[in-house]
Amino acid sequence: MDENAKRETRDRLIMEALIGRRLSTEKEMARITTELENLRRQESVLTEEVRLLDEILGAVPSTPIVRPRMEPEQVHTILSPPMPAPEPQTQPPAPQVPTVDEKRRRKGLRREELADLLRKRFGEGEFSLDQVVDVLLEVEPGDRRKAYHAAWRTCGILEEAKIIQVISETPSGKGVRKVYKLKPA
């Protein structure tokens, strides 16, 4: 008895799945049939339009028009009005490379002001990035993470400008811990 019940349940589930699949297939077939009918209508409209264009072209003499081959500059002059001739330049200006002074800097403290603050605070002594962060936070209170990034970037700029120098580098957790010293003025 138990075998027969399992078999009947299995057969019923298979039939339900097949019926569901058949219904979805019939819906898809109806959608595709509708789309095909729309495409046939569009084809007949386009065929009629091509026939009319062929009639119009048939009324035009069929002698081929021979055009000379033109360079792109010639086509441009035919299609657009003439432009005034550009004034001759003696020599193009050389591209300027921005100096360290012209590079974009952090708002607020300027490089020279920070260098003066570091001279007053540390003199000819050594200092680390954390001490520069403390100086920045004294002058401009705010978020320590932002001040750390600003101090890191500013120390890089000061090092590039040869205002400070790295005197030691020691590996730390994620990177290198640098110790700086101001160069004599």
Expressed in percent and rounded to 5, the helix, strand and coil fractions of the chain are 55, 10, 35
Residue 19 confidence (pLDDT) above 50: yes
183 — pLDDT class (breaks 50, 70, 90): confident
Residues 136-176: tens digit of each pLDDT: 898 888 888 988 888 888 888 888 888 889 998 888 877 88
Q: pLDDT at position 139, please?
A: 85
- The letter for the amino acid at 76 is H
Closest CA to 166 of 147, 176, 138, 113: 176
Query: Tell me: the pLDDT tens digits for 47-65?
Result: 999 888 888 887 665 555 5
**pLDDT at 105 (0 to 100):** 47
- pTM more than 0.75: no
Q: Most confidently modeled of 17-21, 72-76, 77-81, 110-114?
A: 17-21
3-state secondary structure of 11: helix
Task: For domain 111-182, give the CATH number.
Answer: 1.10.10.10
H or E, element range at 155: helix 144-160
Indicate the helix (H) or strand (E) that contains 170. strand 164-171
The residue with greater pLDDT, 25 or 116, is 25
pLDDT score at 96: 66
The identity of residue 125, as a single letter, is: G
Q: What is the pLDDT of residues 69-108, one digit of tens each?
A: 656 555 445 555 555 566 666 666 666 655 555 555 445 4
